[in-house]
A = this chain, B = another copy of it.
């Protein structure tokens, strides 16, 4: 496997998985005051559009990575709106 491909895959895994610790922390602590509702609104819509883009272009890595990130982002947004 080429080095560039390894770098790209590592980048995709990190930027996708990164939202898991934030999701767990927010579910546990319910402290959302420092979290921006505008960020997670924009990011949730953005990942949803990437999901649509991945489906339209049959780009499986984009589709899968953004389906995962969308679910984390939407969870954090919902918790933010619930616990303000």
Q: Which residues of A contact B (CB under 8 A)?
A: 3-4, 7-8, 10-15, 17-22, 25-26, 29, 31-36, 38-40, 42-43, 45-47, 49-50, 52-53, 56-57
Grouping DSSP codes into helix (H, G, I), strand (E, B) and loop, the A interface class, with mixed when no group exceeds half, is helix
Contact (Cβ within 8 A) B42 A8: no
Closest CB-CB distance, A55 to chain B, in whole Å? Answer: 10
Q: A11-B53, A29-B34, A49-B10 are in contact. Are A18 and B43 (CB under 8 A)?
A: yes
Q: A34-B35, A39-B22 are in contact. Are A14 and B53 (CB under 8 A)?
A: no
A29, A34, A43, A47 interface centre (most CB from chain B within 10 Å)? A34
Residues of B within 8 A of A36 (CB): 21-22, 25-26
